[in-house]
Structure 1
Amino acid sequence: MPQRAEIDPERVLVVGFGGAGALAAGLALRPREGKKPRPVGRTLVCPLLDDRNDTVSAVQLADLGGRHRGTNEAAWTHALGSLRDTADVPVYAAPARAEDPSGLPPTSLEAGSAETFRDEIVACASSIRAAGGDAEPQLFPGGFHGFDFLAPGAALSRDARDVRLKWLRRTLTVLTEPGGAAGFGREV
């Protein structure tokens, strides 16, 4: 009989695409309030981070097909109802609203240059870095929302998956090396 693997809540790395990217980003805010799990890293792929939908890229790409400002507004309204675009939106639901991005685990944020979320993703990475954290924005020229899933064989999609795997390997290697620091300054 195979042994059952136990999940160590102190060694969880979260990954999320789109709306699940918002959940993964929000989950990493919880440990600052003493809640678990305490992710040691995050990979956020084209994540929805800000319900306000007012960045330059959201406005620039408002009338294009695929994921655009209108579909983004519909998604946030579905998720938040009447709270959307109010001061009452919880930071766990729209993580870009968190005023203090300190204490977050190492984060990789991915977007295409033709991504409606491009600028909120770059702003998120910048705020984490400004607070002393480790954030790597990965921008893929010509990529649109979900490009690597919708066109998996395209060279750009293969490049994006390569970059993602390299970041994951690098992050997980640091976490598993003897004396390697985990995302919150503790040793694993």
Structure 2
Amino acid sequence: MNADARPPFDPELEPALAMFRGPTPITLTRDAIPTLREAMVVPSLAQQLPDLDLESHDVTIPGYRVDDIRVTVIRRRGSTGSGLGIYNVHGGGMIFGTPLSAIGRVAGWIEQHDAVVVSVEYRLAPEFPDPYPVEDTYAGLVWTANNAHQLGIDPSRLLIVGGSAGGGLAAGAVLLARDRGGPALAGQLLISPMLDDRDQTLSTRQIDGVGVWDRPSNVVGWTALLGDRKSTDDVSIYSAPGRATDLSGLPPTYIDCGSAEVFRDEDIAFAERIWAAGGQAELHVWAGGFHGFDTVPNPRVSKAARAARDTWVNRVLNR
């Protein structure tokens, strides 16, 4: 096998690679984390979604160790909710991002289903290493479930959604909920989730110095979170859900990723272990997709990925 072989990027996505890379190098270094955070200004709701009349407010809640964290509640202006709740966990490699990062991924369900979104501002590594991010995420999930009726959410219609690092944190929070007797969920939707710190898959070797969020960047993110524990036996399944061997007792799960991204193989393995445990998982690997390709508006593969998620959400809600 050619050591440099990798799946090609979709031709319609190629022009977007320069936009994703922006002013920073393809490969992230730990020293570049502050600069990256400063460069990544997240637009407001109105700037991101000018065609939707949305309102939001922040709530301070107890996070890990009862420290204050923030959640942002988003809904259509004047709405009291239809019962559907989306608990949203943003991405950012465990080291950057805000509750409004890539919020467009869930905005369609606000419009289609009059959903209420609760987006959590978990604390970021390396300043707040493991288990802060996953425990903050779980704390926000518990708060959302406990306050569901006041928020206009039916507790039986609560979905957790996470992309990239947020997908890994969402999966970890669901495992915590299973093992602690926490909130029951209608489903978990994991978008290119960051699940495994061990850096052992073929897809990590293929995406090294190319694409978006390549192998060395991924190592930086996991090392910021775990420090010297990365790739050792001293890492919990809640922090790196790809390590979990028993994935029984999970809600219906949707996983998608691109064929040309670091997380491909760990995402496939996670779905396989859900099936092995007798659970329900739907998996899509989109040909030619790099990490985050679904946020590029016009390529046909991006539209197909977003449509498939919509179809799954509709099915989960109408069981």
Q: TM-score w.r.t. structure 2 length?
A: 0.52
Q: How many residues align?
A: 173
User: How much does 1:165 deviate?
Assistant: 0.4
Match of 2:19 in 1: none
The normalised TM-score by structure 1 is: 0.86
Cα distance in 1 between the residues matched to 2:240 and 2:281: 18
Shift of 1:27: 1.2
Report the 3-state secondary structure (helix = DSSP H, G, I; strand = E; otherwise coil) of the residue aligned with 1:143. Answer: coil
Q: In the TM superposition, what is the alpha-carbon distance from 1:19 to its structure 2 partner?
A: 0.4
Q: Hey, what's the Cα distance between the residues in 2 that align with 1:94 and 1:65?
A: 23
Task: Work out whether residues 255 and 267 of structure 2, in 8 Å CA contact, stay in contact via their aligned partners in 1.
Answer: yes
- Give 1:136 deviation, angstroms: 1.1
Q: Which moved more, 1:9-18 or 1:131-140?
A: 9-18
Relative to its length, the structure with more strand (as a share) is: 2
2:156 & 2:233 partners in 1: Cα distance? 32
> Shift in Å at residue 122 of structure 1?
0.6
Match of 1:95 among 228, 231, 241: 241
Equivalent position of 1:168 in the other structure:
313
How far is the alpha carbon of 1:62 from its aligned partner?
A: 1.8
Counterpart for residue 22 of structure 1: 168
CA shift, 1:127, in A, is: 0.7
Where in structure 2 are there 5+ consecutive unaligned residues? 1-77, 81-149
Alpha-carbon distance in structure 2 between the residues aligned to 1:19 and 1:136:
19
> CA 1:2/1:144 → structure 2, altered by over 3 Å: closer, same or farther?
closer
Q: Aligned to 2:290, which of 144, 150, 159?
A: 144
Q: Which amino acid aligns with 1:173?
A: N
Which of 34, 39, 49 is 2:195 aligned to?
49
Deviation at 1:120, TM superposition (A): 0.6
**Pair 1:2–1:169, CA change in 2 (3 A):** closer
Aligned AA (1:92): Y
**Corresponding residue of 1:105:** 251
Paired residue secondary structure (1:28):
helix
Q: Does the CA-based 8 Å contact 1:107-1:136 persist in structure 2?
A: yes
- SS where residue 111 of structure 1 aligns? strand
Deviation at 1:6, TM superposition (A): 4.2
Which of 281, 301, 318 aligns to 1:156? It is: 301
TM-fit CA distance, 1:2: 7.3
Offset of residue 5 of structure 1: 3.4
> Residue in 1 aligned with 2:99?
none
- Tell me, yes or no, if structure 1 residue 86 matches structure 2 residue 232: yes
- Partners in 1 of 2:282 and 2:271 — Cα distance? 6
Deviations 1:53-108 (A, max 9, x none): 21111112223132111111011111222221111112111101112111111111
For 1:120 and 1:80, the matched residues in 2 are separated by 18
Cα pair 1:12 1:37 within 8 Å, conserved: no
2:245–2:273 CA contact under 8 A, matched in 1 = no
Secondary structure of the corresponding residue to residue 16 of structure 1: strand
Percent of aligned pairs with the same amino acid: 46
The AA in structure 2 aligned to 1:48 is M
Unaligned runs of 5+ in 1: 175-188
Distance 2:193 2:79 in 1: 36
Aligned with residue 219 of structure 2, among 69, 73, 90: 73
Structure 1 residues 75 and 170 mapped into 2: Cα distance closer, same or farther (>3 Å)?
Answer: same
Aligned partners of 2:260 and 2:291 also within 8 Å: yes
In the alignment, the residues of structure 1 paired with residue 184 and residue 79 of structure 2 have an alpha-carbon distance, to the nearest angstrom, of 28
Cα contact 1:41–1:171 (8 A) shared by 2: yes
- Write out per-residue CA displacement over residues 21-42 of structure 1, whole angstroms, 9 at most, x where no aligned residue: 0111111112332332222211
Q: Which residue of 1 aligns with 2:184?
A: 38
